[in-house]
Amino acid sequence: MSVVKSKRGQSKVEFEQIYFQLADGIDNLVEHKFFAEGELADKNEMFVRMRSENLEKLTDDLLYHIKIANSIYPTCMAELEERRVSMGKAIGTCYAILTNLQRIMTRPRIHDNKYTLDVLNIIRMINSLKAWRKSDNALKATLVRKKE
């Protein structure tokens, strides 16, 4: 039996698609040195390099935390808590990516319209992770009943 689209949860494919759009956007920004040009790029070369390395690491960390959380199918409360911790770390990593992008926009004074799609993808990822974490509440209730 099919489920009405508005009642469906987000599929794993959609979730990974959001991650890879986010990662591709970050890679593009890094590759183009955040679209800083001329004297502005020269003046902030070291800052841009450091932020680039940090953003690439955070993007890798995000995937790591997502994969860890996704690999745990909880059968007890301890496993559920471990999964929630990984989800929380993934959400925190998304906020760290946003903070780094804000720092990049303000210091070299790059127009924020260059980052609009990337920021939207990060926000979509945060919302998806929060929805995933919220959906685990039903699993938590099941595990609590199972324990009793």
User: Residue 57 and residue 140: Cα distance in Å, rounded?
Assistant: 32
Q: Which of 68, 3, 59 lies closest to 27, judged by CA?
A: 59
Q: What is the pLDDT of residue 12?
A: 59
Residue 40 confidence class, pLDDT cut points 50, 70, 90 = confident
Lowest mean pLDDT of 68-72, 92-96, 121-125, 139-143, name the range.
139-143
First to last CA, the chain: 33
pLDDT tens digits for 102-136?
A: 888 887 777 767 788 899 999 999 999 999 889 88
- 10 has pLDDT over 70: no
Domain boundaries of the chain, sorted by first residue: 11-147
Q: Which two tokens stand for residue 126?
A: 């945060």
- 50 has pLDDT over 80: yes
